[in-house]
């Protein structure tokens, strides 16, 4: 059964609100497409939405108690709540190096979570 | 289990603290109790910071008597207690004939109250002294003995000097009831236990009526809180020509909406005067801000809304007690008495403006009443009325600042950038005789967080310092005592996760 | 520690870091950064989300990663640093007074200064929010610092006032850390931050945004217990019958940034009342010779990449001034805000510079135009010196336009330039 959903495309800062005609996860057409990238975005959003996720993990003996981390690649959106939970369990020791892997192959996605910066020891 | 005292003072605002300080001169075991987490959290920390000359109070009233006593005493007390005070004088501004008549009335009152130096000046002279005053000014009453003070510092210093001289201070201790033997008070019951005593001094401010009713005294006396709202202007953006307080002519609502300098450097505008139903309602309201802004703008047209950096409100303990002298028709006077129907109570009530100014006068009256009641007050040989002030970094010159930091490096770390408050000052207050153990307690003592960023920069630093010095996790640091935590939990400790897949539409 | 430096940079956010690097690269020997925090990086250290480096590096990296790239470069260049140090005063003669625990009181002479102190946040008091004054009212940036750096959650149930980027970013951040964001309220009829953030921070997490709605009153004596929301009209007047009590324990304010110019004022720098930042020329020099300014201290940028670029320009200018002690601008053309433009930075361009270098203008529109627009730079006769088409104009997104040396001829006869943005 075909339906029309609204999806805001964020490929470029314009942020067009696309009227997407689809059947389940299959995109039939974008009714008000402004550019080609709109349809590509709509397909991605319906079939495999992914997002960059940034958070923090605990650090032992560091200058600060947390080090910021992020997903090396865009992460499957439905797994984000679980990822947040997993990251809460992680604790690493200072010193931490930028790009250090703090959680490898997170939730079996093949995507590493890496440190955004160095975190030196406390003194 | 009870502790025994000679005198228990209920309420550690400026009045209770000043009573404690003066009484500490005598050989008495004194307990000062305060229901909040710190001294001076009531009316004492939300007022115009004025020391009133005393021309406004009706001659023959308790207000007038204690106002003028206090105004005379503050210069010496502020020296002894090491607090800022400036006898800069104040003006009541007149713009029409009605106002001029009022100025003359105030002049008469002031003279009857024995206020020195009062003088009516003309509009040109007023404009010469303060060019920013409204251009249609036709005259003003000049009162050279009016002044401005730091009300937080005064209350803390008085309480501290009392503690230094042996007074026991218990904060977070709320009076609940009197325990009586017949009509004699034998002890008080509080949220932290019972304490026996021979005398109780009621200095409970907004709650003075409730306290005296527990002893069956003056059932007809009622305190109706009257809220006054204020705004504070950025000191960099606006100043009066010199330190002073500009008043409009008073009305039956009170002294009116003033534009005043403060010793901290900011100009303050306010207060209005509106009754509220609740003794805890210190809400700021849109209408209230409009009201005080309109009043302030009339007095000093040059003030600008863009310069407002803070607002607050205070509650006046407005009572309904008639003046003792029946010939004077006035029903809002201070109660200063030892009631006959009860033994062991010194009763103070309805202490609104000029209460702050009057505090030292009230303290002396309490002593007088105790002596009249037969209490033999024997002076201590070692009473020390002098309290040394602690260093304030921004008040020092460059050489003094350098020397201070060399001696104590913590003074080299600025924690509140807007008001230039150092870590050294914060540590000194946390470890002072009356420890500052909440964010607001530090704010009152050091002025941190009162500037244009309103704590945006300093709060994480101050929270960490308090946590370290008090030896508690940051989540236990509060803004103003129990029930006001600043932080809830460590970022990674989640008990109930609100994020579910369903949210991710 | 020396007593004098060629260039002193105040602040080590992206503007300050870039200025220090550029100063070194352009002949300044002794370059010092003074930073009030315990480490370099400024506000970037708490902006842990992605979105930085899109323009300059074609990358999408978090704030701290972006910062570290430049921090490493400053080390490589031999830039000196003083951390946990507060600048107390600057004089027009470029003497800097600062203080820290270890060295105490410092008096430093600079041949040139770059101001890079960034912004502070608009407070509850400045927007005159009525109600009680309980614990639990925070500006979004302070909350961000607590959550991301200090490691504490300031609450569990949040209402956020303001749909600017910081507010939306924090909405997502708080949700990831297990808290609940009840509502985001925006007083304007449009989103004031980026649409991308609306999608990825609010829509993604099912957080409701309400426009033309604001906080009428804060409720709670000791700790926030609720806020009373109300709808407003275009003039911000509350509409009767629209109040709603939203139970919560924390109110986050994302109601604007203000360039932090307390020190600039002390140095006698002239400030533009529209931006609240200094008047600057195309070298980012202020009205005081030898004092430059770069980054959010000048106006509120939306892309850090342009802050870095401005830092480079200011640093280069500072190095040049330090070496020559001269201001050679030649004829300067003032830049004015024209149709639908709130402000344009820089405030003036030197004709001589225009002959050699590209000057990037930064503008903010007043009212949104959700259709194709044309940004034009016109001289006093209405002749178009430079122009650029955009898909739209929004107050929350800075418009930029680069005036290239190729426009030099056209600009020769200009005595003033006005920037406009109109429907195409």
CB atoms within 10 A of CB B460: 21
B472 close contact with C: CB closer than 8 A: no
Query: What local confidence, expressed as pLDDT, does residue C226 receive?
Result: 98
Q: Where in chain B is the domain with CATH 1.10.10?
A: 393-476
Q: What is the pLDDT of residues B380-416, one digit of tens each?
A: 999 999 999 999 999 999 899 999 999 999 999 999 9
By the 8 A CB rule, do B149 and B50 touch? yes
Is CATH 1.20.1260.10 correct for B1-84+148-223+319-389? no
C147 close contact with B: CB closer than 8 A: yes
Give me A99's structure tokens.
């790009």
By the 8 A CB rule, do C50 and A73 touch? no
Helix (H) or strand (E) holding B20: helix B14-23
Closest partner residue to B491 among A66, A78, A81, by Cβ?
A66
Closest partner residue to A58 among B492, B494, B501, by Cβ?
B492
* Parallel, antiparallel or unpaired: strands C373-379 and C384-390: antiparallel
Residues A67 and A28 in one domain: no
Nearest CA in chain A to C394: A14
Q: Do B412 and C262 make contact, defined as CB atoms within 8 angstroms?
A: no
Residues A107 and A92 in one domain: yes
- Number of structural domains (chain A) is 2
CA–centroid distance for B464 within its chain? 28
pLDDT at B264 over 60: yes
- Mean pLDDT (chain B) is 96
* C99 chain-B contacts, CB cut-off 8 A: 401, 405, 412, 414
**A122 lies in a domain?**
no
By the 8 A CB rule, do B282 and C132 touch? yes
Q: Where in chain B is the domain with CATH 3.50.50.60?
A: 1-84+148-223+319-389
Q: How confident is the model at residue B501 (pLDDT cuts 50, 70, 90)?
A: low
* C68 chain-A contacts, CB cut-off 8 A: 98, 117-118
**A18 lies in a domain?**
yes
Q: Do B484 and C222 make contact, defined as CB atoms within 8 angstroms?
A: yes
**A86 lies in a domain?**
yes
Query: What local confidence, expressed as pLDDT, does residue B505 receive?
Result: 55
Closest partner residue to C195 among A13, A52, A58, by Cβ?
A13
The catalytic position among B52, B213, B307, B498 is B52
What CA–CA distance (Å, rounded) separates C64 from B245? Answer: 50
Residues A43 and A22 in one domain: yes
CB atoms within 10 A of CB B183: 13
pLDDT at B498 over 80: no
Residues A67 and A109 in one domain: yes
What CA–CA distance (Å, rounded) separates C111 from C88? Answer: 18
* B280 chain-C contacts, CB cut-off 8 A: 221
What CA–CA distance (Å, rounded) separates C50 from C65? Answer: 9
Q: Do C176 and A80 make contact, defined as CB atoms within 8 angstroms?
A: yes
- Give the residue ranges of chain C where pLDDT is below 70: 329
Over residues A51-64, mean pLDDT: 96
B460 close contact with C: CB closer than 8 A: yes
B1 close contact with A: CB closer than 8 A: no
Residues A58 and A108 in one domain: yes
Q: How confident is the model at residue B69 (pLDDT cuts 50, 70, 90)?
A: very high
What CA–CA distance (Å, rounded) separates C39 from C12? Answer: 9
Q: Where in chain B is the domain with CATH 3.30.9.10?
A: 85-147+225-314
Closest partner residue to C135 among B453, B464, B485, by Cβ?
B485
Task: Please give the domain boundaries of chain C with CATH numbers for all domains.
Answer: 1-120+256-327 (3.50.50.60), 123-255 (3.50.50.60), 330-424 (2.60.40)
Nearest CA in chain A to B492: A88
**A23 lies in a domain?**
yes
Give me C24's structure tokens.
């070194």
Share of chain A above pLDDT 70, in %: 100
Task: Domain B85-147+225-314: state its class.
Answer: alpha beta
Closest CA to C250 of C210, C215, C205: C215
Q: What is the pLDDT of residues B112-158, one digit of tens each?
A: 999 999 999 999 999 999 999 999 999 999 999 999 999 999 999 99
Interface mutation vs chain B, best among A81, A86, A88, A90, most B CBs within 10 Å: A81
Interface mutation vs chain A, best among C148, C173, C306, most A CBs within 10 Å: C148
Per the rule left: phi > 0, alpha: psi between -120 and 50, beta: everything else, A16 is beta
Query: What local confidence, expressed as pLDDT, does residue B493 receive?
Result: 86
The chains in contact with chain B, meaning 3 or more Cβ pairs closer than 8 Å, are A, C
C227 close contact with B: CB closer than 8 A: no
What CA–CA distance (Å, rounded) separates C117 from C276? Answer: 13
Query: What local confidence, expressed as pLDDT, does residue C386 receive?
Result: 92
The alpha carbons of chain A give a radius of gyration, in whole angstroms, of: 19
- B303: exposed, middle or buried (Cβ count in 10 Å: 0-12, 13-18, 19+): buried
Over residues B210-223, mean pLDDT: 98
* C130 chain-B contacts, CB cut-off 8 A: 283-286, 289
Q: What are the beta bridge partners of residue C386? A: C377
**A76 lies in a domain?**
yes
Residues A58 and A28 in one domain: no
List the 112-141 stretch of C: residues with Cβ below 8 A of B: 120-121, 123-126, 128-135, 138-139, 141
Q: How confident is the model at residue B71 (pLDDT cuts 50, 70, 90)?
A: very high
Measured in degrees and rounded to the nearest 5, phi and psi for residue C197 equal: -70, -35
pTM (two decimals): 0.95
**A121 lies in a domain?**
no
Residues A71 and A103 in one domain: yes
CATH number at residue A106: 3.10.530.10
Over residues B223-233, mean pLDDT: 97
What CA–CA distance (Å, rounded) separates B427 from B39? Answer: 18
Q: List, in sequence order, every beta strand (DSSP E) within B150-212.
A: 168-170, 175-181, 184-190, 193-196, 199-202
**B52 noted as active-site residue:** yes
Residues A81 and A108 in one domain: yes
Domain that holds residue A78: 54-115
Q: Write down the CATH number for the domain with range B393-476.
A: 1.10.10
pLDDT at B96 over 80: yes
Give me C203's structure tokens.
């829509």
Q: Do A52 and C60 make contact, defined as CB atoms within 8 angstroms?
A: yes
Q: Chain C closest CA to B26's CA: distance in Å?
A: 38
Interface mutation vs chain C, best among B233, B399, B417, most C CBs within 10 Å: B417
Nearest CA in chain C to A81: C176
What CA–CA distance (Å, rounded) separates A31 from A33? Answer: 6
Query: What local confidence, expressed as pLDDT, does residue A60 receive?
Result: 96
Q: Do B488 and C154 make contact, defined as CB atoms within 8 angstroms?
A: yes
Over residues B274-279, mean pLDDT: 96
CA–centroid distance for B27 within its chain? 28
What CA–CA distance (Å, rounded) separates A97 from A108? Answer: 24
CB atoms within 10 A of CB C199: 18
Share of chain B above pLDDT 70, in %: 98
**A89 lies in a domain?**
yes
Q: Do C64 and A52 make contact, defined as CB atoms within 8 angstroms?
A: no
Q: Chain A closest CA to C162's CA: distance in Å?
A: 19
């Amino acid at each position: 059964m075909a339906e029309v959903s609204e999806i805001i495309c964020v490929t470029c800062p314009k942020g067009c609100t696309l009227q997407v005609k689809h059947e389940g996860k299959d995109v039939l057409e974008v009714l008000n497409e402004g550019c080609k990238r709109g349809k590509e975005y709509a397909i991605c959003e319906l079939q495999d939405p992914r997002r960059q996720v940034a958070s923090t993990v605990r650090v032992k003996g560091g200058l600060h108690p947390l080090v910021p981390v992020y997903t090396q690649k865009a992460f499957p959106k439905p797994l984000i709540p679980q990822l947040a939970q997993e990251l809460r369990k992680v604790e690493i020791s200072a010193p931490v190096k930028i790009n250090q892997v703090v959680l490898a192959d997170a939730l079996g996605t093949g995507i590493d979570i890496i440190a955004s910066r160095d975190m030196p020891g406390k003194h | 289990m009870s502790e025994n005292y000679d005198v228990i003072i209920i309420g550690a605002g400026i009045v209770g603290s000043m009573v404690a300080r003066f009484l500490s001169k005598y050989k008495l075991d004194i307990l000062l109790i305060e229901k909040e987490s710190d001294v001076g959290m009531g009316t004492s920390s939300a007022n115009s910071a004025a020391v009133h000359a005393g021309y406004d109070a009706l001659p023959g009233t308790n207000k007038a008597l204690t106002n003028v006593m206090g105004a005379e005493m503050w210069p010496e007390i502020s020296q002894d207690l090491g607090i800022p005070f400036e006898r800069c004088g104040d003006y009541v501004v007149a713009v029409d004939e009605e106002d001029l008549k009022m100025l003359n009335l105030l002049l008469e009152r002031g003279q009857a109250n024995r206020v020195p130096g009062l003088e009516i000046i003309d509009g040109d002279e007023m404009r010469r002294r303060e060019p920013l005053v409204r251009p249609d000014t036709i005259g003003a009453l000049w009162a050279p003995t009016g002044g401005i003070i730091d009300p937080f510092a005064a209350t803390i210093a008085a309480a501290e000097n009392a503690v230094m001289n042996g007074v026991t201070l218990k904060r977070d201790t709320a009076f609940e009831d009197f325990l009586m033997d017949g009509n004699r008070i034998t002890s008080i019951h509080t949220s932290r236990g019972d304490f026996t005593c021979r005398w109780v001094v009621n200095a409970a401010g907004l709650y003075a009526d409730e306290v005296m009713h527990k002893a069956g005294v003056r059932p007809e006396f009622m305190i109706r809180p009257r809220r006054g709202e204020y705004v504070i202007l950025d000191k960099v953006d606006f100043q009066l020509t010199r330190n002073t307080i500009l008043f409009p002519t008073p009305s039956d609502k009170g002294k009116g909406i003033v534009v005043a300098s403060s010793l901290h450097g900011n100009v303050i505008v306010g207060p209005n005067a509106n009754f509220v139903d609740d003794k805890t309602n210190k809400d700021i309201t849109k209408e209230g801000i409009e009201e005080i802004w309109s009043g302030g703008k009339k007095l000093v047209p040059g003030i600008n809304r863009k310069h407002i950096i803070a607002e607050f409100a205070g509650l006046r303990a407005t009572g309904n007690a008639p003046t003792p002298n029946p010939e004077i028709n006035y029903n809002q006077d201070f109660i200063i008495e030892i009631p006959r129907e009860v033994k062991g109570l010194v009763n103070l009530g309805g202490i609104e403006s000029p209460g702050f100014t009057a505090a030292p006068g009230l303290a002396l009256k309490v002593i007088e009443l105790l002596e009249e009641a037969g209490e033999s007050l024997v002076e201590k040989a070692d009473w020390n009325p002098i309290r040394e002030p602690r260093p304030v970094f921004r008040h020092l010159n460059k050489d003094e600042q350098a020397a201070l930091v060399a001696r104590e490096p913590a003074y080299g770390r600025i924690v509140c950038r807007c008001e230039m408050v150092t870590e050294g000052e914060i540590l000194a207050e946390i470890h002072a005789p009356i420890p500052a153990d909440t964010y607001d307690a530090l704010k009152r003592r050091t002025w941190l967080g009162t500037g244009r960023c309103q704590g945006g920069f300093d709060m994480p630093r101050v929270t960490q310092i308090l946590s370290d010095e008090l030896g508690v996790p940051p989540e236990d640091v509060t803004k103003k005592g129990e029930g006001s935590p600043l932080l809830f939990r460590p970022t990674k400790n989640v008990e109930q996760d609100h994020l579910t897949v369903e949210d991710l539409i | 520690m020396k007593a004098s430096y060629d260039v002193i940079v105040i602040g080590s956010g992206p503007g300050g870091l870039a200025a220090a690097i550029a100063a070194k690269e352009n002949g300044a020997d002794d370059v010092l950064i003074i930073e009030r925090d315990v480490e370099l990086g400024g506000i970037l250290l708490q902006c842990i989300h992605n979105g930085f480096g899109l323009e300059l590096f074609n990358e999408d990296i978090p704030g701290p990663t972006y910062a570290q790239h430049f921090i490493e470069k400053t080390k490589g260049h031999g830039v000196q640093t003083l951390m946990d140090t507060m600048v107390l005063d600057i004089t027009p003669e470029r003497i800097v007074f600062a203080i820290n625990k270890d060295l105490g009181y410092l008096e430093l002479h600079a041949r040139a200064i770059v101001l890079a102190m960034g912004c502070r946040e608009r407070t509850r008091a400045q927007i005159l929010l009525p109600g009680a004054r309980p614990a639990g009212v925070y500006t979004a940036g302070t909350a961000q610092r607590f959550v991301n750096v200090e490691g504490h959650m300031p609450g569990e149930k949040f209402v956020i006032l303001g749909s600017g980027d910081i507010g939306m970013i924090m909405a997502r951040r708080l949700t990831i850390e297990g808290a609940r964001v009840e509502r985001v309220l925006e007083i304007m009829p449009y989103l004031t931050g980026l649409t991308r953030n609306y999608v990825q921070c609010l829509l993604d997490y099912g957080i409701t945004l309400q426009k033309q709605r604001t906080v009428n009153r804060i409720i709670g004596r000791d700790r926030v217990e609720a806020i009373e929301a109300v709808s407003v009209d275009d003039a911000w007047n509350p509409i009767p019958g629209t109040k709603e009590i939203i139970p919560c324990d924390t109110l986050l304010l994302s109601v604007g940034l203000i360039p932090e110019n307390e020190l600039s004022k002390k140095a006698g720098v002239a400030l533009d009342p529209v931006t609240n930042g200094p008047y600057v020329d195309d070298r980012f020099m202020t009205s005081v010779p030898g004092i430059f300014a770069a980054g959010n201290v000048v106006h509120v940028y939306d892309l850090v990449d342009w802050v870095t670029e401005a830092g480079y320009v200011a640093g280069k200018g500072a190095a040049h001034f330090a070496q020559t002690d001269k201001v050679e601008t030649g004829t300067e053309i003032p830049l004015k805000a024209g149709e639908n433009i709130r402000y344009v930075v820089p405030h003036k361009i030197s004709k001589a510079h225009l002959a050699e270098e590209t000057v990037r203008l930064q503008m903010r529109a007043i009212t949104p135009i959700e259709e194709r627009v044309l940004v034009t730079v016109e001289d006093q006769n209405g002749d178009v010196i430079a122009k650029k088409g955009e898909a739209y104009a929004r107050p929350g997104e800075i418009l930029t336009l680069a005036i290239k040396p190729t426009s030099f001829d056209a600009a020769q006869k200009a005595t003033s330039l006005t920037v406009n943005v109109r429907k195409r």
